[in-house]
Amino acid sequence: MKKKRSSNADKLKDVTRQEYRIDYSKSRPNRFLKMTTEQPLVVMVDEDVARVFLTPESVNHALRALITAMPKTTPKRLNK
């Protein structure tokens, strides 16, 4: 024979559910999403390199000069 639930248990269950209901009409877009996509990539450099390049602009300038000096080669494909 199945046991019937008491009416007090049903009332408590409804109260708990109401506590966790979310009103999505008041929701807003995530204001922090833009920050995660706009922040620059952070790279750690050794201390001796940091003593030479004091600003991010100087690092970028040196890296761009290195990129232009590199030979233009196409990547080799591996044949299996």
How many residues in total does the chain contain?
80
Question: 76 by DSSP, 3-state: which?
Answer: coil
Chain segment 31-76, per-residue pLDDT in tens: 887 777 676 778 899 999 999 999 989 999 999 999 999 988 766 6
For residues 13-35, give the mean pLDDT: 77
Q: CB under 8 Å to 53, separation ≥6 — which residues?
A: 45, 59, 62
Q: How many angstroms separate the CA atoms of 60 and 39, rounded?
A: 16
**pLDDT given for residue 19 in this prediction:** 73
Q: How many angstroms separate the CA atoms of 70 and 73, rounded?
A: 9
- With contact defined as beta carbons under 8 Å apart, do 59 and 53 qualify? yes
